[in-house]
Amino acid sequence: MEPWRSLALLVAFLGLILSLVAQSTDFWLEAKMPTIAIHFGIWPKSGETVQDFLHVTETFCVLAALWSLGTVIYLAVTYIPSLTLPLYRFLYSAFSCFLAALFMIVAMAVYTAEVSSRSLNPQIQTFFSWSFYLGWVSAGALLCAGVLSIVAQFRASRIGYDNM
């Protein structure tokens, strides 16, 4: 149980950090023109108009970060046995990891679909940049943390007469 719980905590923390880095940087989309290159993030600069799909992406990214933060805190608390229920203590973390991953996948899918469907000037080349890919990697890390939490739940020793 211990290595699975520790690994789930580590991977959930990694997913949280990757999600926060992806959200806080402005390298989601890069546009190259013949003379300059410009990069964009999901958070607009002051005075810019915000499109609806960016609001959806921002909202689901923040929800994913909050749920993964809750998961990391809960997994850290499971090291204190008196603060957790012994029977289903890792199912909450698995559920919240999967929910955080779902929020991140929705955010990334909305952003991908909207940006891919837009056509710009043929002289402007647009492509996704490293912050965008960190968002997808954080979703994968949160899915892995959920699977590791389920493995930790099934590897946990059961409380019964033979353990007393």
Residue 52 has pLDDT above 60, yes or no: yes
pLDDT mean over 86-107:
89
Residue 82 has pLDDT above 80, yes or no: no
For the chain, domains (ranges, CATH) are: 2-157 (1.20.140.150)
pLDDT mean over 111-116:
91
CA distances from 135 to 16, 40, 48, 151 (A): 10, 14, 23, 25
Mean per-residue pLDDT of the chain: 87
Q: Measuring CA to CA, which residue among 115, 162, 106 is closest to residue 139? A: 106
The highest-confidence range among 18-27, 37-46, 85-94, 111-120, by mean pLDDT, is 18-27
User: pTM higher than 0.75, yes or no?
Assistant: yes
CA distances from 25 to 41, 42, 152 (A): 6, 8, 34
pLDDT mean over 79-90:
72
Residue 161 has pLDDT above 50, yes or no: no
| Sequential DSSP letters for 62-75 | HHHHHHHHHHHHHH
